Structure 1
């Protein structure tokens, strides 16, 4: 009997769907309180996940899901730079 490797699942903050972690983009809040996209998935800090679509990012942004997830206010500048980075990688 072969043991299949368990695929880690995460929920997208935008659409609320559970998807394999590999298909999502991690948003990280570091110990210093910096919030950024973590395209490698290796940065340390509190993570939240969104689909690789700007649409899901917008939904999560509008519903203030990132603020809730990291329990802090997030400035427009940070959102705009994350969105720019996301559009580059789409």
Structure 2
């Protein structure tokens, strides 16, 4: 059986290349609406952050996503992202790679 190529993406916080499944995509639409994109298919400018709470906290402290997406994000959005990442990480630890 032929081995499939694993899509890689770069985290905007750490600068590391990781498999796409280990990252979460954040998008900014043409209207300027910023949202978490679990499917990775929403249209608009995208930025990837690793599924690590520490990395999301660094992005929040340094406002990295604000610069990358060229917008101003609220603390509520960063908290929502942090909660999402913590949930996904806990889920991955419970169920493994599905």
Q: Determine the C-alpha separation between the residues in 1 that align with 2:61 and 2:18.
A: 21
- TM-score, normalised to structure 2, is 0.75
Larger relative helix fraction:
2
Unmatched runs of 5 consecutive residues or more in structure 1: none
Who is 1:25 aligned against? 24
Residues 77, 41 of structure 1: CA spacing in aligned structure 2 closer, same or farther, 3 A cutoff?
same
By relative contact order (CA 8 Å, sep 6+), the higher-ranking structure is 1
* Residues 13 and 56, structure 1, Cα contact 8 Å, conserved in 2: no
Unmatched runs of 5 consecutive residues or more in structure 2: 90-98
Shift of 1:32: 2.2
Who is 1:72 aligned against? 71
SS of residue in 2 equivalent to 1:50: strand
How many residue pairs align between the two structures? 89
RMSD: 2.0
Who is 1:44 aligned against? 43
Greater than 4 Å deviation, 4+ residue runs: 3-6
Q: Determine the C-alpha separation between the residues in 2 that align with 1:78 and 1:23.
A: 20
Residues 89, 22 of structure 1: CA spacing in aligned structure 2 closer, same or farther, 3 A cutoff?
closer
